[in-house]
Structure 1
Amino acid sequence: QAFRDNDPEPILTRFYSENAISTGNTGATHIGREELRPVYDEVIGAFVEIESFNTLVNGDAGWDWVNFHVTFPPEANLDPFTFKMLFLWERIDGEWWSQGEMYVLGEFEISS
């Protein structure tokens, strides 16, 4: 919904923990919500679909391998792309927060 509303704030403050770490396909690392903000400001006008490939939970920790599909409105004149992404989760006071992710270009094959 945040992507459709062009509003990165819910992603940054209700999805990511305060000190989340994100490392992307170029090797750049962003630590904390404020360093993540410019990343989401760049893609917030895109349509994002997250497709889970493999999810594991062990107590208060979890991880989720996903396909992170990104497409753009036609007027953006940008090619769609997909990341293979690994989200890392921690349950804090009963709520799940993303502690970060790593991603590379590509796509997991998911059988129907």
Structure 2
Amino acid sequence: MFLAAASVVSLALPAAALSPSAIAATSDQAIGDLPAASPANAAEFRRQADALYRMKEKAFADTDAETIINRFYAKDAVSFGPEGKPIMGRDQFREDYERVVKIANVRVEPIRSHVGADAAWEWANFYVTPKDPAQKPYSFVILFVWAKKDGRWVCGGDAYTPGQFAKTP
């Protein structure tokens, strides 16, 4: 999760998708805000996501990689950092988390989310405090991707880079 090597992905689009007529057909209107979630769905997402973030924070504090791997992330989750090397699935997550839970504690600060009926994403500050007091704390800007399965929000993966969102008013 915290270290990766570079990779490049290319996407091939049909020429018709990029034609001026296809682009013009989408709309001449500026795109506004994303549609808002129903208040009940947004509240339930917030409740569940916050509980999962606290669980993940506690698992780091307890050096418990298995809780993160099996109860926070979906079995087929994907994660990648600034180097672009994807970590995919439980085996690769286990390799990574067994190492990182030993060296740091974390805190997740949600900043901005978009919640749909069965999918959501959330931007957050991910604060890392090394367990070695000689090392300095740091933070990531992280994007969590969520899906609802049987009424339960599950993290399908994340993407992160060093940095921090400004505090929101």
The one of 13, 31, 37 aligned to 2:88:
31
Give the equivalent residue in structure 2 for 1:12.
Answer: 69
Compare the two structures and name the one with the higher helix fraction. 2
Shift in Å, 1:74: 3.8
Counterpart secondary structure, 2:61: coil
Q: Which amino acid aligns with 1:20?
A: A
Q: Which has the higher contact order (CA 8 A, sep 6+)?
A: 1
Q: Which amino acid aligns with 2:167?
A: I
Matches of 2:135 and 2:126 in 1, distance apart? Answer: 16
Give the equivalent residue in structure 2 for 1:109.
Answer: 166
1:12-91 matches, cutoff 5 A: 12-45=69-102, 46-75=104-133, 77-91=134-148
Counterpart secondary structure, 1:2: helix
Q: Give CA-to-partner distance per residue, 1:54-74, whole Å, 9 cap, x none.
A: 011010001110000000124
Matches of 1:37 and 1:13 in 2, distance apart? Answer: 9
1:85-100 matches, cutoff 5 A: 85-100=142-157
Matches of 2:168 and 2:113 in 1, distance apart? Answer: 15
Matches of 1:38 and 1:54 in 2, distance apart? Answer: 30
Matches of 1:23 and 1:2 in 2, distance apart? Answer: 20
Moved over 4 A (4+): none
Matches of 1:34 and 1:2 in 2, distance apart? Answer: 18
Q: Structure 1: which 5+ residue stretches go unaligned?
A: none
Counterpart secondary structure, 1:48: strand
Matches of 1:3 and 1:49 in 2, distance apart? Answer: 9
Counterpart secondary structure, 1:3: helix
- TM-score using structure 1 length: 0.92
Compare the two structures and name the one with the higher strand fraction. 1
- TM-score using structure 2 length: 0.62
Give the equivalent residue in structure 1 for 2:38.
Answer: none
Q: Structure 2: which 5+ residue stretches go unaligned?
A: 1-57
Counterpart secondary structure, 1:44: helix
Matches of 1:79 and 1:72 in 2, distance apart? Answer: 7
